[in-house]
Structure formats: C-alpha cells, structure tokens
Structure 1
Amino acid sequence: MNTAVTNNSSNAPTVVDIRKLWTVFKNADGEQVVHRDLNMHIDRGEVLSLVGGSGTGKTVLLRQILGLEKPTQGVVEVLGQQPGELSASGAANVGMLFQHGALFSAFSVLENIAFPLRELKLLPDELIRHAALVKLQMVGLEPQHANKSPSDLSGGMIKRVALARALIMDPPLLLLDEPTAGLDPEASDSFCNLLRGLHRELGLTVVMVTHDLDTLFDLSTRIAVLADQKVIVSGTAREVIAYPHPFIHEYFLGGRGQRALEALHDKPATEQHAPRPEAAPR
C-alpha cells in the first residue's frame, strides 16, 4: 500500500516537516530498518497522534523531532530548522513530556519546573521562580505543592509537573509520549481535559504517541499510522479506520477499539476535507 490520505488541507504553516527519513539500527544480526523513506508533516495547531505496532519507531520519531536522535538519512525540520542545529533559545520551541515524567528525584517540584530556564542562565532567580509558579498553577496544581519532592506526588501529579516543565519556555510545539500511561480512568480523563484546554488557550501544536484509544479519540485532530516502515495513512479517525490494512483492522476494530469508537460516534463528525497524498515529500 503506497498511498495515504489526509484531511489536512489547511493553509496553516508547517511546524514539523519530515522527508525521505530512514532510521536504521545495527545489531548482532545485521541492520534493522525501522523507517524507510518516511514522509510526514504537521501543521500549526494540530494534535497529531502517532499509532503503530511495537517496533514501528513512534517514540524514535519523537526523539528525532526533539533532536535527541539523528535519522540515518533524510530530513527532519522543526519550524524550518533541523533539530540538531537549534541554538539553546531555538530549542525552546519544543517541549517534551516523557512517558514516566522523568522528574529529577533530588529536586523539588518547583526546581524541576524551573530547570530549563535556569540552564539558560539568562534570567534572575526571582523571575524564574515566578514563571515556574505560574506554570504550576496552569497545570492545575496549587502553590503548596511547590516544595514537595517527586516521591510525595501521585502519578497524575507527576504528569502535571512534567507538563509544567515542558511548557516553562512557552514552546509552540509540544511532544507527548504516552501522556496518560499509568493513570486510572478518572485521572486520565482529567489530564486529557487539561491538555485540551492548554492546546486551545496556548495555540499549541501537539504530536502525541499513545496506545490509549480513549485518549487517542478524545484529543486527536489527525491520526498518523506507522506500519510497513512508513506512514501508511493519516487523517481523521473515521478516515483512518476506513483504510484497509491488517494493523488498522486489528487495532481499531477489536474489542477495545469498538468500545472507544462508541464514544467517538456519539460526537459530531468533524468537517471532512478532500484527501491528498501524504507519501510524496513536500
């Protein structure tokens, strides 16, 4: 299957542009090709979710967008620059929420949130503290939590602190790796509501990896499916589910998928756009 569809026909500026990307890992058995001539773009204001089976390189793509890993071949551009070429101030264009929060255990909540600003060494301590307190409250936590250690926090609170840290530099692009993993249904719903509100209020562009179908359907404006070493299809949930591929049928139309789809069908359909090829580089 060489074609893919997308409902993304807006004139919004492209925030992430990936062209002819190859990711190859060497191991004892030789070489493992994870991505082969993969093309993908993400426009401003989208919440794009990456889904795919184990080993399809979803988190690897996030790390390449962030600049933590380099592709073997091809181009990754974030706001017109390759992540590896970003200066410290340019790197502030991307915030990352890691799956387990990745908080520093020896730091307090406020110190964790403030860490990226302190590393720049451009602002006075009092201004950094004020900015961290603002972000703490922005994610729904009270100032009395500022001096707590990560070990004193619940799983949901750890996610919120990590999100506040990801937003401390006011990045236009936010990357989320399994944002609701490990949360109970109530905490997961609450965190999704928080993310939805921040996306709307801050005008964020979001790229998300998630295995949770409720989160996927709740937040995504577009879904991109990784299989066969590339993006095989991207579009609205309804467009993606209609695409004929064994992984899509198994993932979306199994028991869990059917239950999540029931909730999706209760929502009004989003406006449909004319599909266009995603496979050709932009």
Structure 2
Amino acid sequence: MIDAPAADAPRVVEILKLWTTFQSPEGEQVVHRDLDLTIRRGEVLSLVGGSGTGKTVLLRQILGLEHPARGQVTVLGQRPGQLGAKGAAKVGMLFQHGALFSAFSVLENIALPLRELKLLPDELIRDAALVKLQMVGLGPQQANKSPSDLSGGMIKRVALARALIMDPPLLLLDEPTAGLDPESADGFCDLLRSLHRELGLTVVMVTHDLDTLFDLSTRIAVLADQQVIVSGLPREVIAHPHPFIREYFLGGRGQRAMEALHDTPAGHAPAER
C-alpha cells in the first residue's frame, strides 16, 4: 500500500494563482485561471481532467519546459527556470510515449542526462545507467538494444530509468500506463509503488487509466473550469457534485475501477495485486 504523507510534510511543489493562456485564431484562450495547488513530500498526486484542461501543460510548467502567463510555480523552493542545467537532479520526467532517442541504445538513453552534465567519467556513468536499468526490472542483456527492439512495457521502463538516473526527489509521469496491456500496466504500477517506497519519491501523475489512478494515488486533484475544483482522497473527490466527476468516476468504467476501493481504509491506496 501507499500511505498518504503527514499533513505537515514539506511542500515540494507550490502553484499559486497560475494563469495559462494560448493564442488561437479566435483570440486568447485561457486554460488555467488563478489555479492553486500544493504537493507535499511523499505524495502520489494524480491530475485528472477532461481534454483541454491543461494537465500535461501543468507538468511541463513544473518541469520548466513551459511558463505560465501569470502566477507562480515553485519546485523545492525554487522557480523551475532557476533550477539550471542541474535541474534534472531534482525533477525526473516520464513522457507519455517514452521519448527515447531511436539512434541511441538503451544504455545510452538512460545515461544521457549524466553525460550532458559532463561531471563524471564514462565508466561511472555506464555503471550508474546499468544500476538504474536493473532498478526498473531489466537486465544487462537489454543494454545495447535499440528502442525499436523493445516492447511497449520495456520502453516505459527504460524511460523511467532515464528519469531516475539523477536520483531526483520529484518524479513527473505523463500517462505512465498508456498503450500497455493490462498485465504490463499492472507490472508497471507494481514497479512504481516499489520505487516510491524505496526511494522516498514524490510523484505527480497524469493518467486517464482509472485502475492506475486508484491503485497508486494518495490524492487526486481534478482540473475543470480552469482551476483545481477539488483535491483529496478518492472517496472525497468522488463525492464532489461536479458534472465531470459524476461522468468520469460514476460511469461504468469508474464503477468497476472503484471496486478496488471497497473496504480500503481511508488514507491508503488499494492493496497490491
């Protein structure tokens, strides 16, 4: 199980009065308006919302790849843009489709963030990449393979190893189980649960997979109407009377996924499968 952190755990991410806007042929489009969100150390916080609510955009703003029009994003006490070249040591990102470089081998993909910093000799970088490869459940026989030789589940694991190569305390996940068959998705959730426990990670995750959502989340934040309309334990979120929540969680798929919550103590994720 994943236990919710203490209410007074240190703040890892703080988002205050954030506005996100985009220009379109129809004029300025507002995605986020005065959005507030705090994420504490040890949480697995899942962002949920309909299409166009800016879930992935929010991840990219935490990472520093995009900047809000107004408002403030603070990560580990600093603005994302102030993290500099060593920011990867503080924030790891698993992109939806893995985003591996096809011209690089598995090991080269994992080692890339360390190589870019040019702070360690090649031998140590290779050793570190091999450790991370093993950490995500893959053996050294996969090290020299091309991404094109890997299954979807293996691509996710290699991308996760790369996200963890700098031992970041904060991990961002964009649809971590998208495109995986149920068995592979279950295995990946088990891996994430284990890594969260062993490494003391704080995780922010975007997912449409209700099984993953209920399996891993210590808290769910729902994006709608340009803001976070509710955040809390699954039962607290489901009780919120917003039309999106009723449609998303109380439809057929939601009801089936919520069976995993039956008789689960408050503050805990469902038991491991």
Specify which of 125, 133, 136 is matched with residue 136 of structure 1.
133
1:92 aligns to 2:89 (yes or no)? yes
Counterparts of 1:53 and 1:166, CA distance in 2:
26
Partner of 1:256: 253
Are the equivalent residues in 2 in contact too, given 1:117–1:169 (CA < 8 A)? yes
Partner of 1:151: 148
Counterparts of 1:90 and 1:187, CA distance in 2:
30
Residues 113-192 of structure 1 mapped to structure 2, 5 A cutoff: 113-192=110-189
Tell me the TM-score normalized by structure 1.
Answer: 0.92
Please list the CA deviations of residues 252-275 of structure 1 after superposition, one character each: whole Å capped at 9, or x if unmatched.
00000000011211533327xxxx
Counterparts of 1:201 and 1:249, CA distance in 2:
35
1:86 shift after superposition: 1.1
Partner of 1:110: 107
**Pairs aligned (count):** 265
Query: For 2:260, what is the secondary structure of its paired residue?
Result: helix
Partner of 1:244: 241
**In structure 1, what residue type is equivalent to 2:116?**
E
Query: For 1:158, what is the secondary structure of its paired residue?
Result: helix
1:38 aligns to 2:24 (yes or no)? no
Partner of 1:70: 67
**In structure 2, what residue type is equivalent to 1:264?**
L
Partner of 1:219: 216
Unaligned regions of 5+ residues in structure 2, if any? 269-273
Unaligned regions of 5+ residues in structure 1, if any? 1-6, 272-282
Query: For 2:266, what is the secondary structure of its paired residue?
Result: coil
Are the equivalent residues in 2 in contact too, given 1:67–1:83 (CA < 8 A)? yes
Moved more, 82-91 or 121-130: 82-91
Distance 1:8 1:117, change over 3 A: closer
**In structure 2, what residue type is equivalent to 1:186?**
E
Specify which of 31, 44, 49 is matched with residue 47 of structure 1.
44
Are the equivalent residues in 1 in contact too, given 2:5–2:41 (CA < 8 A)? no
1:36 shift after superposition: 0.1
Identity, in percent, stands at: 83
Query: For 1:148, what is the secondary structure of its paired residue?
Result: coil
Structure with the larger RCO, 1 or 2 (CA within 8 Å, 6+ apart): 1
1:10 shift after superposition: 1.2
Counterparts of 1:267 and 1:214, CA distance in 2:
15
Are the equivalent residues in 2 in contact too, given 1:224–1:234 (CA < 8 A)? yes
Query: For 2:177, what is the secondary structure of its paired residue?
Result: coil
Specify which of 218, 227, 230 is matched with residue 227 of structure 2.
230
Partner of 1:4: none
Query: For 2:108, what is the secondary structure of its paired residue?
Result: helix
Please list the CA deviations of residues 3-49 of structure 1 after superposition, one character each: whole Å capped at 9, or x if unmatched.
xxxx9761111000000000010111101000000000100000000
Query: For 1:199, what is the secondary structure of its paired residue?
Result: helix
